[in-house]
Amino acid sequence: DIQMTQSPSTLSASVGDRVTITCRASQSVHTWLAWYQQKPGKAPNLLIYKASSLESGVPSRFSGSGSGTDFTLTISGLQPDDFATYYCQHYSSYHTWTFGQGTKVEIK
Amino acid sequence: QVQLQESGPGLVKPSETLSLSCTVSGGSVSSDNYYWSWIRQTPGKGPEWIGYIYHSGSTNYNPSLKSRVTMSLDTSKNQFSLTMRSMTAADTAIYYCAHGDSYGGNEGAFDIWGHGTMVTVSS
């Protein structure tokens, strides 16, 4: 089974900062990688799919990159609404899905 | 725009069977390109994918849960459902239903989620 490992687990940042979150797969997942934002008491919300494509309606300050085993989610100019937990997720062509353990972005 | 709403019991006794339904509005559960999943999450942890069902009715399950899980479609009610047997305290979690589009650009992701329903396993 493919494992998804995110780092860091927690990140402290200020409004306006550029923030980078990393997700590493235990073996190549090509670009079958998505990113979600989750706020307390809410369901996850899709931000990025296929590693670097921005979901409709998501602000352009969110961007994704990477392929194979190493991926990043970048928030360029952190906004107050962005303090949340972020998850990566891999999709396998065998129709299985695996999520990372999450990165919490906190106010510094 | 597709919307999802989970329903089912909030409390299940150990060893009993959980049955949850997800009602789909704004779209058809049998649309050619749609796939549907159940996903659960315990506080402070990442989501755990439980299973998937395609519009055709074909399924696949998380290997760690496969022996206890069944998913099905009910086209007359425009719903899909989850049955999980032999529940234990470790199954206490928020259960979400989710949608994906295999012909959409965002194939492989879940673009629409229900609000989630809390399920507690306790006697």
Per-residue pLDDT tens digits for B89-103? 999 999 999 999 988
Q: Please give the Cα distance from A92 to A77 (Å, whole number).
A: 32
pLDDT of residue A61: 98
Segment 45-104 of chain B within 8 Å of chain A by CB: 45-49, 52, 54, 60, 62-63, 96, 98
Q: Is residue A67 less than 8 Å (CB to CB) from chain B?
A: no
The beta-carbon neighbor of B47 closest among A44, A50, A55 is A44
A chain contacts of residue B49, beta-carbon cutoff 8 Å: 96-99
pLDDT of residue B102: 87
pLDDT of residue B44: 87
Query: Residue A13: is its pLDDT beyond 90?
Result: yes
Q: Which residues pair with A64 in a beta bridge?
A: A73
Give the dihedral of Cα atoms B99, B38, B53, A67; nearest 10 deg: 70
Smallest CA–CA separation between A74 and chain B, in Å?
A: 19
Nearest to B58 by CA among B48, B76, B73: B73
Arithmetic mean of pLDDT over chain A: 97
pLDDT of residue A29: 95
Nearest to B20 by CA among B90, B79, B67, B88: B79
Nearest to A29 by CA among A86, A97, A101, A103: A97
Whether the Cβ atoms of residue B3 and residue B97 lie closer than 8 Å to each other = no
- What does pLDDT average to in each consecutive run of 10 residues of chain B (123 residues)? 96 98 96 95 95 94 97 97 98 98 89 98 97
Q: Is residue A13 less than 8 Å (CB to CB) from chain B?
A: no
Smallest CA–CA separation between A51 and chain B, in Å?
A: 10
Which tokens go with A53? 């494509």
A40 C-beta neighbours (distance < 10 Å), count? 7
pLDDT of residue A93: 87
**pLDDT confidence bin for A41, thresholds 50/70/90:** very high
**Interface probe with B: pick from A5, A31, A49, A91, most Cβ of B within 10 Å:** A49
Q: Is residue A2 less than 8 Å (CB to CB) from chain B?
A: no
Q: Is residue A97 less than 8 Å (CB to CB) from chain B?
A: yes
